[in-house]
């Protein structure tokens, strides 16, 4: 059997100095490897099973298939596998091609997922001591928890919530791998951590023959019926509409195609149908007491909706919020009620809220980032200085700017969208509109925090629809407004409460945080949307700044988004609750340091306190409603004193 050789960054730099290599992967891990090696190593190309093809590139280097690699490889040009989710599966793929681990390929393991370090070993023993079962009775039923194949403090929340429900139902804890990651990709070190907090089984979601035959029949039936994105969005199996979840997963991870029935889309959908078939039978054939999810959206949606259909309670425990999931769950469910919530504030709170919002919006438009997500602060558009060089063409045409979203983010944050719950379909439709409106100048401003995959997708759009011109990545919205941008298009973006404040009209393409107010445009059908676009010259401008201030103060001052303050419940060190993007924004990375930090702050007293709170936590999650104003515990009097000091 071929032996896998795992290397961290320093070992890779030493081994591949002044050599030519291929990197297998085009995601985050491949980017880390590229940064570490690019100065001393010649990276010939990137290999990817799904993203290769004409004009596909990663940091200027070609993306090729495995077959292309096999045709062009030469002696002493090894592969560095840098795709942690699918790394071991890729190794098996290379073994089947006759390549030899340690000679023809190596595995990037800067995160020490496979190279078990001393801190991980200490953490495994620590978790065993905490979670050792005192009873020896046989347990019945299953609590499902997500298996996270990476070193992070997520295992802390999985351990506490999983064991809370396991004790409550006298059940066993089983874990599942998300995002379609196969059982073979689970790292031994991570499996040991889960076993240490009583995970009995890591579920292998491979279909048996009967299930595979069923999945193939269902796929063939569905595939024949697909001709539009609307058809994809309406895909239904076992009486459950999975189409939106399928699209959410596609846009979160893959590169969509203009031809929705090409070979890559075929392979993607086949995989998704296999996933749905497995989990439908697993959930309906087993005594599952409760399901715990990562964020409840994208791939999670398959398990979520199947379990809820069976009547099993489902909770989100590893997102930036904790919540009880519902069918078709999305986070932004309170927004339609924001206008009614505003009316529930006292007159004093309303007066202060408007004053506060006006001041903070003015600061935001000058580049202030207090209310900006931490991972966007380094790239905040309003912090850009104006350029002496003109950006837009100087003419009398109406100028429209498209503001795409980040594809890595959940594409259904606020609910139903006009264009089949699909960013990509929306962008394609705008491309078609650009061809029908020669009297407009169409521009596209890439999101400053876009990933390489985002850029690939946007470049595909721009090549197909050349009437849309790309605006430089780093440019001030103030300058664009001064040069003539009158309208900005988004699905539900934050430009909805930024651009109106500088005189740019915003047109949304679905439910959005601002839907309850009247300072942006909110068409509800494709026909209404197109009618707005075709008649921009006739629109009466919206200028209701008062409502904009109402929204902003609710969003950032009054509404309690952290309904369950999980960071304070589980952690004292604020870094332990930060996800990768938040850490990177302050110059840190995920790693086993989180294990040590948690062990350092853990006490028996703290452990008992956490466990004693969980009954109340999940009761509150059951009681939560989107139409209730959960208000932060703030004192207007003290805030006013602070403003005047």
pLDDT in tens, 394-430: 999 999 999 999 998 888 999 999 999 999 999 999 9
Residue 56 token pair: 């596909």
For residue 47, what is the DSSP state? Answer: E
pLDDT at residue 2 greater than cutoff 70: no
Q: What is the pLDDT of residue 644?
A: 52
Would you call 464 helix, strand, or coil by DSSP? helix
Q: Which segments of 286-346 does DSSP mark as H helices, in order?
A: 300-310, 338-344
- Average confidence (pLDDT) over 169-178: 95
| pLDDT bucket at 51, cuts 50 / 70 / 90 | confident
Half-sphere exposure of 175 (CA within 13 A, CB side): 29
**Residue (of 30, 107, 26, 24) closest to 70 by Cα position:** 24
Please give the C-alpha separations between residue 484 and each of 322, 382, 441, 508, 551, in angstroms, as whole numbers. 43, 17, 10, 20, 27
**Residue (of 246, 190, 198) closest to 218 by Cα position:** 246
Q: What is the pLDDT of residue 551?
A: 98
**Residue (of 529, 509, 504) closest to 519 by Cα position:** 504
| pLDDT bucket at 136, cuts 50 / 70 / 90 | low
pLDDT at residue 107 greater than cutoff 60: yes
Distance CA 11, CA 36 (A): 11
Distance CA 420, CA 422 (A): 5
* Mode of pairing for the β-strands spanning 42-47 and 20-24: parallel
Q: What is the pLDDT of residue 645?
A: 42
Q: With 0-12 CB in 10 A as exposed, 13-18 as middle and 19+ as buried, what is 347? A: exposed
Q: What angle do CA 125, 194, 146 make, to 5 degrees?
A: 155
- Cβ–Cβ under 8 Å, residues 306 and 227: no
* Mode of pairing for the β-strands spanning 105-108 and 79-81: parallel
- Average confidence (pLDDT) over 122-150: 89
In SS3 terms, 536-575 reads as HHHCCCCCCHHHHHHHHHHHHHHECCCCCCHHHHHCCCHH
Please give the C-alpha separations between residue 127 and each of 109, 171, 552, 558, 613, in angstroms, as whole numbers. 23, 19, 43, 39, 20
Domains within the chain, CATH numbers bracketed: 6-108 (3.40.50.720), 337-558 (3.40.50)
Q: What is the pLDDT of residue 200?
A: 95
- Average confidence (pLDDT) over 213-220: 98
Q: What is the pLDDT of residue 1?
A: 41
**Residue (of 545, 444, 442) closest to 502 by Cα position:** 545
Would you call 108 helix, strand, or coil by DSSP? strand
What integer best gives the mean pLDDT of the chain? 93
pLDDT at residue 586 greater than cutoff 90: no
Residue 440 token pair: 């407009």
Residue-by-residue DSSP string for 142-191: EEEEEE--S-STHHHHHHHHHHHHHHHHT-EEEEEE-TT--GGG--HHHH
Q: What is the pLDDT of residue 149?
A: 87
pLDDT in tens, 329-359: 999 999 999 999 999 999 999 999 999 999 9
Residue 268 token pair: 């993607």
Half-sphere exposure of 36 (CA within 13 A, CB side): 22
Contact residues for 389 (Cβ-Cβ < 8 A; gap 6+): none
Residue 424 token pair: 């990509």
Is the pTM higher than 0.75? yes
pLDDT in tens, 501-530: 999 999 999 999 999 999 999 999 999 999
Contact residues for 209 (Cβ-Cβ < 8 A; gap 6+): none
Q: Which segments of 59-142 does DSSP mark as H helices, in order?
A: 66-72, 87-96, 118-131
* Mode of pairing for the β-strands spanning 505-507 and 314-316: unpaired
- Average confidence (pLDDT) over 432-460: 93
């Amino acid at each position: 059997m071929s032996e896998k050789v795992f290397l961290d960054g320093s070992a890779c730099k030493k081994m591949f100095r002044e050599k030519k290599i291929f990197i297998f992967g085009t995601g985050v891990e491949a980017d880390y490897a590229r940064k570490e090696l690019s100065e001393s190593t010649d990276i010939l190309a990137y290999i990817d099973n799904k993203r290769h093809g004409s004009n596909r590139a990663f940091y200027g280097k070609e993306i090729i298939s495995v077959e292309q690699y096999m045709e062009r490889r030469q002696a002493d040009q090894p592969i560095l596998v840098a795709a942690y989710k699918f790394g071991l599966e890729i190794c098996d793929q290379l073994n089947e091609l006759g390549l030899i681990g340690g000679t023809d390929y190596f595995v990037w393991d800067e995160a020490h997922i496979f190279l078990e370090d001393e801190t991980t070993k200490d953490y495994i023993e620590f978790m065993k001591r905490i979670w050792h079962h005192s009873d020896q009775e046989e347990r019945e039923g299953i609590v499902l928890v997500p298996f996270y194949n990476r070193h992070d403090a997520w295992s802390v929340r999985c351990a506490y919530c999983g064991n809370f429900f396991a004790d409550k139902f006298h059940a066993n804890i089983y874990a599942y791998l998300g995002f379609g990651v196969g059982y073979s990709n689970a790292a031994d070190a991570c499996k040991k951590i889960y076993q240490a907090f009583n995970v009995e089984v890591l579920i292998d979601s491979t279909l048996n023959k009967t299930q595979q035959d069923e999945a193939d029949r269902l796929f063939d039936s569905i595939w024949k019926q697909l001709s539009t994105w609307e058809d994809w969005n309406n895909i239904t199996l076992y009486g459950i509409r999975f189409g939106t979840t399928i699209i959410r997963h596609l846009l979160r991870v893959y590169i969509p195609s203009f031809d929705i029935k090409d070979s890559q889309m075929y392979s993607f959908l086949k995989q998704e149908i296999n996933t749905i078939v497995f989990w439908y039978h697993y959930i309906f054939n087993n005594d599952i007491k409760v399901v715990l999810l990562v964020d409840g959206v994208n791939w999670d949606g398959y398990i979520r909706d199947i379990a809820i259909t069976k009547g099993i309670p489902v909770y989100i425990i590893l997102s930036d919020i904790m919540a009880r999931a519902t069918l078709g769950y999305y986070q932004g469910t309170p927004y339609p009620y924001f206008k009614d919530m505003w009316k529930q504030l006292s007159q004093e709170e309303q007066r202060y809220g408007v004053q506060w919002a006006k001041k903070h919006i003015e600061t935001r438009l000058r580049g202030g980032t207090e209310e900006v997500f931490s991972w966007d602060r380094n790239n905040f558009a309003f912090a850009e200085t104006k350029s002496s060089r003109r950006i837009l063409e100087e003419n009398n045409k109406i100028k429209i700017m498209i503001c795409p979203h980040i594809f890595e983010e959940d594409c259904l944050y606020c609910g139903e969208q006009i264009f089949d719950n699909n960013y990509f379909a929306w962008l394609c439709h705008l491309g078609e509109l650009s061809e029908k409106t020669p009297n407009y100048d169409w521009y596209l401003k890439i999101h400053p925090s876009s990933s390489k995959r985002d850029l690939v997708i946007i470049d595909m759009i721009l090549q197909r629809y050349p009437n849309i011109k790309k605006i430089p990545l780093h440019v001030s919205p103030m300058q664009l407004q001064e040069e003539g941008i009158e309208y900005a298009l988004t699905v539900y973006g934050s430009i909805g409460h930024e651009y109106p404040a500088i005189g740019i009209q915003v047109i949304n393409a679905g439910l959005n945080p601002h839907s309850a107010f009247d300072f942006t445009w909110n068409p509800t059908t494709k026909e209404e949307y197109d009618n707005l676009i075709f008649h921009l010259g006739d629109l009466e401008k919206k200028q209701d700044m008062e409502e904009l201030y109402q929204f902003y103060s609710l969003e950032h001052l009054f509404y309690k988004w952290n309904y369950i303050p999980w960071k304070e419940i589980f952690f004292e060190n604020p870094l332990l609750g930060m996800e990768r993007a938040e850490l990177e924004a302050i110059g840190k990375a995920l790693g086993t340091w989180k294990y040590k930090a948690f062990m350092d702050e853990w006490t028996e007293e703290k452990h008992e306190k956490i466990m004693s709170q969980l009954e109340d936590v999940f009761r509150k999650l059951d009681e939560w409603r989107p139409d209730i104003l959960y208000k932060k515990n703030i004192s207007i009097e003290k805030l006013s004193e602070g403003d005047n000091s």
